[in-house]
Amino acid sequence: MKQGDLVIRQSYGGDVLFRVEAIRTEYALLKGTDYRLLADAPIPDLSVVRDPESTSAVQQVRIKVNESLRRMQTDRARNGGITGESRSIRLAQQQQSAPYFEVPGKVLHLDGDGNYLKKSMQLYNSMQVPAQGLHIHESQMADILYRLLPQVKPDIVVITGHDGVLKHRAQNEMYGLGSYKNSQNFVNAVRIAREYEKSKDSLVVVAGACQSHFEALLQAGSNFASSPGRILIHALDPVYVAIKASYTPFRETISLPEVIHGTISGIDGVGGIETMGRFRVGMPRPKATSGS
């Protein structure tokens, strides 16, 4: 076994596929390949996976991912790419001489995992969501946000990476931030975002990873967060929520049942509060320009 190998944990029934990040004397540090989870495990408990697509864990995840992607594509296609038809959009569609143009909400995505960031940016691009992404360690996210928010001026901020409930924690300490690997870092970043923009409708904040402290993230100012049931969330769940916010009209509330049901993890993985969308339309369509 070596760094970079794909493995499963025998004691957990091979429920999650991991990549070996580092090997210590008696145990290995692991990162989930599909789930935003940090873990460690005794080396004898690990089995190397040669054909990951043949494992039941990966096959089940692929089914859920495909269902979520279909929902995203349906939302994007509805009403010409708009999730809810407003009076201004109907008017624009009727004005054939002055067709409307779309202005989806802009996303700033901070990710503690470079591989997940790459997948996330590919999905934003395929869904035509303007997005800027940065791979940064969770402990540095608050400082980076403080500098970036005035420059990027996003409509939506995604703060994610890796997290998890510590195995060796004090009894009855599930609700203490000290019992989580990165929830405190996420909370710090959310607070910076809220200092920059207090209105939850002007700046939509999506925060958290696997098993993150859902209540603390909401209290810090997140609109959407993980994980109400302290479960594993899929790497693309925060992206799905951000895309939903980006394409929901600014006069309409993002449907909580729709956005939660649309994620791969469901209501135990992601929750949130009523929030207005960030999508707008304009008229007439700008003429193509060159130079500058």
Q: pLDDT tens digits for 29-84?
A: 998 888 888 888 999 999 898 887 777 667 777 777 777 777 777 766 664 444 44
Q: For the chain, how big is the Rg over CA atoms in Å?
A: 20
pLDDT of residue 92: 53
Pair of tokens at residue 30: 């692991």
Yes or no: say if 243 and 267 are a contact pair by the CB < 8 Å rule: no
Kindly report, residue by residue over 211-248, the tens digit of the pLDDT: 999 999 999 999 999 999 999 999 899 999 999 999 99
pLDDT of residue 84: 45
Residue 201 vs residues 49, 99, 245: alpha-carbon distances, Å: 45, 27, 10
Distance of CA 157 to the CA centre of its chain: 10
Give pTM, 2 decimals. Answer: 0.85
Give the Cα separation of 149 and 242 in Å (integer).
16
How does strand 224-225 pair with strand 204-207?
parallel
Averaged pLDDT for residues 157-179: 85
Helix (H) or strand (E) segment spanning residue 46: strand 46-48
Identify any residues that bridge with 205 across adjacent strands, giving them in sequence order: 157
Average pLDDT, whole number, for the chain?
A: 87
Helix (H) or strand (E) segment spanning residue 186: helix 183-196
Give the Cα separation of 101 and 88 in Å (integer).
12
Q: Over 80: is that where the pLDDT of 170 sits?
A: no
Complete domains list, the chain, with CATH: 6-54 (2.30.30), 61-282 (3.40.50.280)
Q: What DSSP letter does each residue of 111-170 carry, written as one string?
A: ES-HHHHHHHHHHHHHTT--EEEEE--GGGHHHHHHHHHHHH--SEEEEE--B-B-SS--
Give the Cα separation of 261 and 255 in Å (integer).
10
Pair of tokens at residue 3: 């760094």
Considering only the C-alpha atoms of the chain, give the largest distance between any 2 of them, rounded to a whole number of Å: 71
How does strand 107-111 pair with strand 156-160?
parallel
Answer with the residue of higher pLDDT: 33 or 251. 251
Yes or no: say if 98 and 278 are a contact pair by the CB < 8 Å rule: no
pLDDT of residue 91: 54
- Min mean pLDDT across 2-6, 22-26, 49-53, 201-205 is at 49-53
pLDDT of residue 292: 42
Residues sharing a CB contact under 8 Å with residue 108, sequence separation 6 or more, in sequence order:
131, 132, 133, 134, 148, 149, 152, 154, 156, 157, 158
pLDDT of residue 14: 82
Pair of tokens at residue 134: 């940065």
pLDDT of residue 76: 66
